[in-house]
């Protein structure tokens, strides 16, 4: 679910360096839970030929971005990839501005607070403040991916897109699901789009006994999504009440972040 259809077409855009694009695709193939990937698995995940994979993995090993496990005849990500993520977070004006406000809201309201950015068919957490003391409910961390089509973060992002861009993304998402499952998912997305248009937030309960609500956050770098979430005894019956109760605080946090970002831009 992490890649778009017609993968080979991504390498044919004007002005693109095809070798660089293909190398990036190899790095994208690694996700949590896939410690090692061999050339055949990388070829399957990227749609690239085995010969191309072999050439590029050797280059990435030489460049320090992959490690080769000789006994497993496979590759894992190397430390410089982690360094790139750290550099991105350290340089992000949005994170510098939003994180103190997110921490304050989490402590005051006793809720989890997350900020996420889109990447193809997923939302990636830029950061996540987990309030709950139970370790099982503190597993969402920066860099973790969640599906756009199922989550409050993804629904809020979809609602903020121009209609043509939304329809294109929905088409790619639909292709990754069976028709029967997609009918329910599409209904929830339509409902969320209406909710965002009317109230500037939407709610979802894609995980058992967790209610989450999210709002789009427009930034110079593109639309993000901001959310609150908390564990409940019965998400089905409590979702509407909890979402309505937390919505004013979520929208205030959004406004505080946007005002702080505007002040930061004016001071430069």
Q: What is the CATH number of the domain that holds 106?
A: 3.30.450.40
- Please report whether residue 3 resides in a domain: no
User: What span, in angstroms and rounded, lies between the C-alpha atoms of 56 and 208?
Assistant: 41
Describe the crossing of helices 93-109 and 235-267 by its angle, rounded to 10 degrees. 140
Q: Check whether residue 131 and residue 224 sit in a common domain.
A: yes
Torsion angles phi and psi, residue 86, rounded to 5: -65, -40
pLDDT digits 0-9 by tens, 77-133:
999 999 999 999 999 999 999 999 999 999 999 999 999 999 999 999 999 998 865
- Please report whether residue 169 resides in a domain: yes
- Please report whether residue 181 resides in a domain: yes
Q: Check whether residue 114 and residue 206 sit in a common domain.
A: yes
Residue 59 sits in a domain whose CATH number is 1.10.10.10
Tokens 């992490």 locate to: 2
Kindly report the pTM of this predicted structure: 0.89
Residue 182 above 60 pLDDT?
yes
pLDDT digits 0-9 by tens, 248-264:
999 999 999 999 999 98
Residues near 133 by Cβ (< 8 Å), separated by ≥ 6?
A: none
Per-residue confidence (pLDDT) for residue 162, from 0 to 100: 95
Per-residue confidence (pLDDT) for residue 101, from 0 to 100: 98
Contact 153, 225 (CB under 8 A): yes
Structural domain harbouring 40 = 18-78
- Please report whether residue 236 resides in a domain: yes
Q: Check whether residue 107 and residue 70 sit in a common domain.
A: no
Q: Check whether residue 99 and residue 142 sit in a common domain.
A: yes
């Amino acid at each position: 679910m992490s890649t778009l259809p017609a993968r080979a077409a991504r390498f044919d855009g004007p002005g693109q360096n095809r070798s660089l694009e293909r190398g990036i695709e190899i790095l994208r193939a690694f996700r949590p839970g896939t410690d090692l990937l061999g050339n055949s698995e990388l070829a399957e995940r990227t749609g690239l030929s085995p010969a191309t994979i072999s050439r590029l993995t050797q280059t990435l090993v030489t460049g320090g971005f992959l490690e080769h496990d000789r006994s497993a005849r496979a590759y894992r990500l190397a430390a410089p990839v982690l360094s790139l993520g750290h550099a991105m977070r350290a340089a992000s004006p949005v994170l510098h501005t939003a994180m103190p406000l997110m921490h304050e809201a989490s402590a005051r309201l006793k809720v989890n607070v997350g900020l996420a950015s889109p990447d193809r068919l997923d939302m990636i957490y830029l950061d996540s403040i987990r309030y709950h003391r139970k370790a099982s409910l503190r597993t969402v961390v920066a860099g973790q991916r969640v599906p756009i089509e199922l989550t409050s973060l993804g629904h809020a992002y979809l609602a903020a897109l121009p209609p043509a861009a939304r329809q294109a993304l929905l088409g790619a998402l639909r292709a990754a699901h069976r028709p029967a499952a997609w009918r329910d998912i599409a209904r929830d997305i339509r409902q969320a789009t209406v909710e965002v248009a009317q109230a500037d937030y939407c709610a979802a309960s894609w995980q058992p006994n967790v209610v989450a609500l999210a709002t789009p956050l427009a930034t110079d770098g593109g639309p993000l999504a901001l959310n609150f979430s908390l564990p409940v005894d019965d998400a089905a019956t409590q979702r509407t009440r909890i979402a309505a109760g937390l919505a004013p605080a979520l929208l205030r946090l959004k406004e505080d972040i946007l005002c702080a970002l505007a002040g930061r831009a004016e001071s430069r």
